[in-house]
Amino acid sequence: MKYQELGRTGLRVSQLSLGGAQFGQQYGPLSVPQAAEVVHAAIDAGVNLIDTSAFYGLGASETILGEVLAGGWREKVSICTKAGRLDRDRFDFTAAGMRECFEDSLRRLRTDRVEILLAHDIEFADDFERVFDETAGVLNDLKREGKCRFIGMSCLPLGLLAKAIERCDLDVVVSYCHFHLQDQTLHSELMPVAAARGVGVLNASPLSMGLLTNQGPQPWHPAGEEIQAACREAAEYCRSHGADISFLGMQFCLNSNVPSTVSGAATRAELETNLRALATRPDPELLSGVLAILEPVLDRTWKSGNWNA
């Protein structure tokens, strides 16, 4: 396993981190024994960061992780969880709401502290000044109280994430769907801002929430049809060359200078595929062909939340 420094935190995080959305049943049913097999195998392989949220499965992800990390596993891994997003259309970034959400998370995770606490999907706030003031303030309060070691925020719009870094005293941010085969704007639009302030960056959704897979995304995926069609064509191109676009996509992300890429795994086989991707580099010709197909939609994204800048 490879490790990199996460900003100024002092944490050396595994280049592959384990995402917790699958444990919230967001991509299909997953039992506790199945989750335990994946989590324990990941830790044994050197993965030392797990990313979850109160939103994933409305607490189910944290509940399952709390169970499978019992018996000494918790001490082997850093936990990043998120507060403020309560459901698909319910958010509470007030100080009281953030604190209540996080206290519930701690109970589900069966721990008295986490390593990283984030405000989740802040682009859905209706008052960004309040996020930069009140939400950031309660995050710092929880940090001072020892309930989390480091604090940060997450969202889709890179402009908002950059503004949060500039306005708030953050340690870590999570960006998703902005560094993968079809979109590499994380490096140009966020990494320089984060590096200038010593903020660690975690790259989530390296397969763009299922866009860059053979089966394609879930029906709720917000990408426009042109983006989805190009990704389907790229997946077919890989199949025609005896390859899997998801494996190529993981190789592409894991062989980068992002400190850690967060990817979920529902089975041990999926985890082992990700570990193989970490240990190998993309085939240059295959990668070139895929990037050529995706070039017309390169770096295109979709609107999320209330951020319009």
Which tens digits make up the pLDDT trace of 85-119? 999 999 999 999 999 999 999 999 999 999 999 99
Paired sense of beta strands 90-91 and 114-119, if any: unpaired
Cβ neighbours of 249 (radius 10 Å): 28
How far apart CA 172 and CA 176 sit, in angstroms, is 13
Indicate if the pLDDT at residue 28 is higher than 80: no
pLDDT for 309 equals: 75
pLDDT for 257 equals: 87
In what helix (H) or strand (E) does residue 64 lie, and over which residues does it extend?
helix 60-68
pLDDT digits (tens, 9 = 90+) for 136-162: 999 999 999 999 999 999 999 999 999
Per-residue pLDDT averaged across 126-135, rounded? 98
Indicate if the pLDDT at residue 29 is higher than 90: no
User: Residue 22 — pLDDT band, cuts 50, 70, 90?
Assistant: confident
pLDDT digits (tens, 9 = 90+) for 236-274: 999 999 999 999 999 999 999 899 999 999 999 999 999
Tokens at 295, concatenated: 């070039």
pLDDT digits (tens, 9 = 90+) for 33-66: 999 999 999 999 999 999 999 999 999 999 999 9
User: Residue 289 — pLDDT band, cuts 50, 70, 90?
Assistant: very high
DSSP 263: E
The set of residues, in sequence order, having a beta carbon less than 8 Å from that of 18 and lying 6+ positions away, is: 38, 39, 42, 47, 49, 50, 51, 262, 263, 264, 265, 271
DSSP 84: S
Locate the DSSP E strands across the chain. Answer: 3-5, 12-14, 16-19, 49-51, 78-83, 85-87, 90-91, 114-119, 148-155, 172-176, 200-204, 260-264
Indicate if the pLDDT at residue 27 is higher than 80: no
pLDDT for 17 equals: 98
pLDDT for 232 equals: 98
pTM of structure: 0.96
Q: Which entry of 3, 56, 176, 237 is annotated as an active-site residue?
A: 56
Which residue ranges form the domains of the chain, and what is each CATH number? Answer: 3-216+247-280 (3.20.20.100)
Per-residue pLDDT averaged across 183-200, rounded? 97
pLDDT for 159 equals: 98
pLDDT for 81 equals: 98
Instruction: Examine the residue annotation and report whether 56 is marked as an active-site residue of this protein.
Output: yes
Q: CB pairs under 8 A, 24+ apart, for 85-90?
A: 85/53, 85/54, 85/55, 85/120, 85/121, 85/124, 86/54, 86/55, 86/58, 87/55, 87/58
In what helix (H) or strand (E) does residue 104 lie, and over which residues does it extend?
helix 95-109
Indicate if the pLDDT at residue 177 is higher than 90: yes
User: Residue 25 — pLDDT band, cuts 50, 70, 90?
Assistant: confident
How far apart CA 82 and CA 110 sit, in angstroms, is 15
What's the whole-number average pLDDT of the chain?
Answer: 96
